[in-house]
Chains A and B, each alone.
Chain A
């Protein structure tokens, strides 16, 4: 123990080998344990190349989600009235809470990046834990919401399975009145949905829509929020590992870029939700308190 690092590490940080040739070229002395890989000329080039790599990955993500968004747009145009009925089944309160929670998690993630850049290990860990809590809260709310969706007959299942799954238009909300106002015998009728079944509703106006068209809305709802949730789960898992690494001082020794790259991913997932929320929840407007518009 001839040289003691200024920060206490519970796990050994990565080797702090500095490319001294680069140091000499630029003649600065405040830089420390950045690792300049041999195929880059200087840190700036290395950072930009790595960022570009992450953006390339985000391109593929954007393309994947935009396929679903296009599907959504096309069928919204075709089946607007069915979309209106579908979105009325969702809980805007839970959707709003989740939007707040996710925006807050983006804030803590941005602060975590800042903490890594100023080499504050404790702040970095704190903000990472904050992001994990918000991310976990989002997934928790989603789990509650999906469970309710299942019990309210909104999960499209395969026809050949018969009435086993929970796809039941008889359970849907078709007016602004609360669900509990429904007659029990109507709610317990697990309908065999025929291809030409229709549902009549009275929200903004009276309309009769095809159950098959509402099914398209719910297929897209579960695919889009599901794919988004898969990204959240992956993000939380990666962040847990990064938290352990941060505890060992991995990102507060000048090697802060991994935190920034993860931040890019996290913010991207946030952006997806920023679009999903108004598109899925707010089609028919605001009926948070069960009242008319």
Chain B
């Protein structure tokens, strides 16, 4: 009977529209308002991506600017998704390090391999 009683009291205690630290169960409930803000930001960033792609910065002598803007926005979007949708913002330090290390490792592999390709003599290209 005690179990049934607890079953009934739980939903009410978690329904508040604020970040509840349910420390004993080890997880937080992210309020819906946070998700709404994040999805709004993501949609706005998508529109900005399209807007930036419509401008040909090559004509202004900055041909690299298009890809830099596109990738910067993509990274901001990814970080928003990781922090809020994937709850890393509210997770333990261990999850922070673990998830961050994955992307850091990708960056490391990219940079080191590209350094190899970029620094080859033309005769050794590919």
Contact = CB atoms under 8 A, between A and B. Distances in A.
Interface of A: 3-6, 16, 18, 26, 28-34, 42-48, 51-52, 55-56, 58-59, 62-63, 66, 69-70, 73-74, 77-78, 96, 99-100, 103-104, 106-107, 109-111, 113-114, 117-120, 204, 253-254, 257, 260, 263-264, 267-268, 270-271, 274-275, 277-279, 282, 285-286, 293
Category for how many chain B residues contact A: 35 or more
Contact of A286 (B53, B92, B98): B53
Interface of B: 1, 3-4, 6-11, 13-15, 23-27, 29-30, 32, 35, 38-39, 42-43, 46, 49-50, 53-56, 58-59, 66, 70-71, 73-74, 77-78, 81-82, 84-87, 91-92, 94-95, 98-99, 102-103, 105-106, 109-110, 113-114, 117, 126
B54 A286 contact: yes
B52 to A, nearest CB: 9
B97 to A, nearest CB: 10
Contacts of A253: 7
B50 A96 contact: yes
Contacts of B14: 117-119
Contact of A44 (B25, B29, B35, B98): B25
B25 A43 contact: yes
Contacts of A74: 113-114, 117
B3 A32 contact: yes
A70 B110 contact: yes
B110 to A, nearest CB: 6
B25 A70 contact: no
A118 B56 contact: no
A62 B92 contact: no
B26 A48 contact: yes
Contacts of B58: 204
Contact of A278 (B32, B53, B54, B110): B53
A260 B56 CA distance: 41
A282 B74 CA distance: 12
A46 B27 CA distance: 11
Given A100-B43, A282-B70, 9 more contacts: A43-B25, A45-B26, A70-B113, A100-B46, A119-B14, A267-B81, A278-B49, A285-B53, A285-B55
